[in-house]
């Protein structure tokens, strides 16, 4: 009798445990996959917002003809995070042009 229990019931018990673990792993795997997709969407959304803000600042300060020191620092910090999120080099050209602007208008200097 003990041999029967040891041979068949323990095998069934371990098989059930493994099936339960497999189901749990599958469920967790789907949740992790969904979380990764959400993180990627958040990353891309943040990247788009940063890009939009940098381009907006570029247009504003190019129209003014100068970029104050506080604005340079702010835009530089935006760009650093944009770049850290994997932003491409298109915005780099805008940043270079923006950083070449004077910090004050010529009329204010004179």
| Per-residue pLDDT tens listing for the chain (110 residues) | 677 667 777 778 888 888 888 888 888 888 888 899 999 999 999 999 999 999 999 999 999 999 999 999 999 999 999 999 988 888 999 999 999 999 988 765 55
Q: What pLDDT does residue 36 have? A: 92
Q: What pLDDT does residue 108 have? A: 54
Q: What is the DSSP string of 18-79?
A: HHHHHHHHHHHHHHHHHHHHHHHHHHHHHHHHHHHHHHHHHHHHHHHT---HHHHHHHHHHH
Q: What pLDDT does residue 109 have? A: 52
pTM assigned to the model: 0.71
Domain boundaries, the chain: 2-109
Q: What pLDDT does residue 13 have? A: 81
């Amino acid at each position: 009798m003990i041999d029967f229990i040891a041979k068949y019931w323990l095998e069934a018990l371990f098989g059930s445990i493994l099936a339960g673990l497999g189901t749990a792993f599958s469920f967790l795997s789907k949740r992790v996959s969904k979380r990764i997709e959400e993180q990627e969407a958040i990353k891309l959304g943040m990247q788009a917002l940063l890009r939009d803000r940098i381009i907006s600042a570029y247009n504003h300060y190019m129209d003014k003809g100068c970029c104050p020191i506080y604005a340079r620092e702010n835009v530089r910090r935006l760009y650093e995070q944009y770049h850290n999120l994997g932003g491409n080099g298109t915005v780099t050209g805008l940043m270079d042009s923006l950083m070449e602007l004077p910090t004050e208008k010529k009329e204010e200097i004179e």
